[in-house]
């Protein structure tokens, strides 16, 4: 039996973002099991391929339940060559009233760093979130020491917010509805 086809969510100049696919399990673990990509993750890197499969299953379930979620990110020239994940997920854990917000997420293998690929993927997924649920707040939860992630979030237009609280003590940033992003 042939594997199910990938569902393309969005394409950019250099990237293709797809709904997570069962065949992404190795890429999930490669990215999330790497100590370097998890330097600022309070839970550290994934310890087993099984953890990767569980996370992948949760990403697939988000898409099935909410019609939006985290995407597998690959170069347009090699759509099966997933090197990262980016997107927005509906979450209720940042608000005491339990009302959902979008959580922006991005994590890429070191081979993708420093080339503007994360910015390209984040811009595409933020635009997708705005088209899907235009008034839903979009937040990013970032460790204060994670300067590269914070720099990216600020360039996209995120600003510090005290309206939301991360239980793990990380800083929370919110994207204003007008999304006045930096141009550099």
Domains and CATH numbers, the chain: 8-175 (3.40.630.30)
Cβ burial, residue 82 (10 Å; 0-12/13-18/19+): buried
Please check whether residue 156 is in contact with residue 178, taking contact to mean a CB–CB distance below 8 angstroms.
no
pLDDT tens-place string over residues 117-165 = 999 999 999 999 999 999 999 999 999 999 999 999 999 999 999 887 7
pLDDT tens-place string over residues 34-83 = 999 999 988 899 999 999 999 999 999 999 999 999 999 999 999 889 99
**pLDDT band at 7; cut points 50, 70, 90:** confident
Please check whether residue 118 is in contact with residue 146, taking contact to mean a CB–CB distance below 8 angstroms.
no
pLDDT tens-place string over residues 20-35 = 999 999 999 999 999 9
């Amino acid at each position: 039996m042939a594997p199910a086809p990938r569902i393309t969510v969005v394409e950019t100049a250099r990237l293709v973002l797809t709904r997570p696919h069962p065949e992404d399990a190795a890429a999930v673990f490669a990215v999330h099991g790497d100590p370097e990509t998890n330097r600022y993750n309070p839970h550290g890197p994934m310890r087993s391929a099984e953890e990767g499969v569980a996370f992948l299953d949760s990403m697939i379930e988000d898409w099935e339940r909410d019609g939006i979620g985290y995407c597998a990110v690959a170069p347009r020239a090699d759509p099966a060559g997933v090197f990262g994940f980016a997107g927005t997920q509906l979450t209720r854990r940042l608000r005491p009233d339990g009302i959902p917000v979008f959580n922006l997420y991005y994590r890429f293998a070191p081979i993708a760093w420093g080339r503007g690929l994360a910015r390209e993927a984040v811009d595409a997924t933020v635009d997708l979130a705005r088209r899907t649920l235009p008034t839903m707040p979009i937040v990013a939860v970032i460790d204060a020491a994670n300067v590269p992630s914070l720099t990216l979030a600020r360039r996209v237009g995120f600003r510090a917010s005290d309206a939301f609280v991360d239980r793990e003590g990380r800083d929370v940033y919110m994207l204003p509805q007008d999304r006045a992003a930096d141009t550099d």
